Amino acid sequence: MAIREGPWQSKNDHDFILRSLRGGRRADGRQLGDMRLLRMVFARAEGQASAEIQLGRTRVLGVVTGEVVPPFPDRPTEGFLHFNVELGPMAAASVGEQRNSPLSVEIARVIEIGVRDSQALDTEALCIIGGEKVWQLRCDVHILDHGGNLIDACTLATMAALRHFRRPEPASWK
């Protein structure tokens, strides 16, 4: 794959990246085979779990919340799983003031397809009472700092928050 100049990159940036790669280093100083450093911080509250992921200079917060809702009539034994990704101007100045940037929508779709196609979460396991009550899980991913590798960081935050989530006790179900 050739590295081309683009509207997101100046000629000087393009030349610097190519020189770095030819010298066996990445633009951030890592060797070509080095991974970014990974740090994870977890938190949990009633009906909510979060995972903050720092992957290199990228920071992402994944928050999973759950509520009990009636199921769809055509799928009475399946719960719901919704994804939302927010990328604001504080994380990446190139995004501007857009509410739903094309990049955040694309990342949400990639995460949703990855979780659903891998069957990482069984939506039938979210059923409480068939035809009456199921869990609806919502996963909000907030990109705090965009330092590259967003899809990996967002996927890690999503999966970590989903794994950390615990359903509340039945007494709190409505």
Domain locations in the chain?
Answer: 35-172
Residue 31 pLDDT grade (very low, low, confident, very high; cuts 50, 70, 90): confident
Among 47-51, 118-122, 137-141, the minimum mean pLDDT is found in 118-122
Is residue 153's pLDDT more than 50? Answer: yes
Average pLDDT, the chain: 84
Alpha helices in 30-149 (DSSP H): 102-117
pLDDT digits (tens, 9 = 90+) for 36-54: 789 999 999 988 999 999 9
pLDDT, residue 99, reads 65
56-94 b/e (C-beta count within 10 Å ≥ 16 → b): bebbbbbbbbbebeebeeeeeebbbbebbbbbbeebbee
CA dihedral sign, ordered 3, 5, 8, 10: positive
2 vs 142, residue with greater confidence? 142
The one-letter code for the residue type at 157 is A
Is residue 7's pLDDT more than 60? Answer: no
Q: Determine the Cα–Cα distance for residues 107 and 35; give it in Å rounded to an integer.
A: 21
What 3-state class would DSSP assign to 91?
Answer: coil
Right CATH for 35-172 from 3.40.605.10, 3.30.230.70, 3.40.50.150, 3.40.50.2300: 3.30.230.70
Kindly state the DSSP code that residue 53 receives in the 8-state scheme: E
Return the top range by mean pLDDT from 33-42, 117-126, 155-164.
155-164
95 vs 74, residue with greater confidence? 74
Which parts of 130-168 are beta strand (E)? Answer: 133-145
pLDDT, residue 148, reads 81
Contact 114, 142 (CB under 8 A): no
pLDDT, residue 1, reads 41
pLDDT, residue 62, reads 96
Of 124, 113, 110, which is closest to residue 80 (Cα–Cα)? 124
